[in-house]
DNA sequence: TTCTCTGCAAATAATTTGCACCCAT
DNA sequence: ATGGGTGCAAATTATTTGCAGAGAA
């Protein structure tokens, strides 16, 4: 099965890269729809799946929430906001994490690992302190 | 709002603890249904949510998949099987991970972090090599 | 008695799939 | 022309919610 570069696929890829963010399928759908109004959400889902399968984009499955897709393919870790669910990249030395290591891998054949940091993003902190003043 | 210990709640808690596994709501539903055939799945969901809210059990949101609930409350990390989605505990020194640290937290107020290791569990490795022999 | 909890069914949210037509190669 | 891709609607999966009656405290 070889990939074809359709207009839809090209546009989805372009918008994701242009955004430099970690977008969900429907966020991306809203963006692309402005340019191709007749595109369907299913097409966005299908393409994101195919593109990440092909290693052209990354797929993020953070904290049991909606999937997000990543313009950046290289393996890296993330920090996310528990309030607004925004996701940012984490610059962390993955090597040193591996060195710290885990012993009891329970006989698993380890494929990879990832560190996920949770917190409140600057914007939500600001909103929150504003609300507290009001009280 | 104070909690009441109903039969349903007690049974859900007992079965989760008895299993010593990381079960999903419907896995637990199947177990409890054998004892209380009229229990509803919604009750299981509601109770798992309430119990984890109360800190009596743990909630796991691993890799964008179905939520799993944890008999063990203390904070710890997990390893999961990419084939069968089974989850096991990881004995790892969380302190040393934190020490390795991350620099660029992008202004987030950090709440916590977790390490998630992916791999293939012993059982699925066995099944897989059996399949390969057949070919 | 009071107020939380339950069962049931319906609603929601995110994602996937079947199908007939379309279009990139 | 061929087989992957698209739009649309319907199906699925996981989870949540409204409501009237049940049962812990």
What is the domain-level CATH number for residue A112? 3.30.1490.190
Between A and B, how many residue pairs show a Cβ–Cβ distance under 8 A? 136
With contacts defined as CB-CB under 8 Å, which chain A residues touch B114? 115-116, 118
Structural domain count of chain B: 2
Q: Which nucleotides of D are covered by protein (CB under 7 A)?
A: 3-10, 13-18, 23-25
Find the helix or strand (DSSP H, E) in which B96 lies: helix B94-100
User: Do A21 and A65 reside in the same domain of the chain?
Assistant: yes
The verdict on B55 and B70 lying in the same domain is yes
Pick the residue from chain A with its C-alpha nearest to B86: A108
Q: What is the CATH number of the domain that holds A36?
A: 1.10.10.10
pLDDT, position A61: 83
- Which pairing describes strands A77-81 and A109-120: parallel, antiparallel, or unpaired? parallel
Least confident of A56-65, A67-76, A84-93: A56-65
Answer yes or no: do B7 and B63 share one domain: yes
Helix (H, G, I), strand (E, B) or coil at A58: strand
Q: Which of A102, A120, A90 is nearest to B76 (CA)?
A: A102
Q: Which nucleotide is nearest to B47 (CA to C1')?
A: C5
Q: Which domain holds residue A22?
A: 1-74
pLDDT of residue B133: 60
Neighbours of A115 (CB within 10 A): 20
Cα–Cα distance, A58 to B58 (Å, whole number): 29
Q: How far apart are CA B26 and CA B11, in angstroms?
A: 14
- Name the pTM for this structure: 0.84
Residue ending a domain, among A52, A74, A96, is A74
Query: Which H or E run contains A45?
Result: helix A41-53
Q: What is the dihedral of CA A57, A63, A102, A94, to 10 degrees?
A: 40
Domain end among B22, B43, B74: B74
């Amino acid at each position: 099965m070889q990939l074809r570069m359709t207009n839809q696929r090209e546009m989805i890829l372009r918008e994701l890269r242009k955004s430099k963010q970690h977008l969900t399928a429907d966020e991306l759908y809203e963006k692309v729809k402005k340019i191709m109004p007749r595109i369907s959400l299913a097409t966005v889902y299908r393409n994101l799946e195919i593109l990440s399968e092909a290693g052209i984009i990354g797929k993020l499955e953070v904290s049991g929430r909606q999937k997000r897709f990543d313009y950046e393919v290289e393996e890296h870790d993330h920090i996310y906001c528990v309030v607004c669910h925004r996701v940012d990249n984490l610059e962390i030395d993955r090597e040193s994490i591996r060195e710290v290591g885990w012993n009891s891998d329970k006989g698993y054949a380890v494929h990879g690992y990832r560190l996920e940091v949770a917190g409140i993003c600057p914007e939500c902190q600001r909103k929150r302190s504003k609300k507290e003043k009001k009280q």
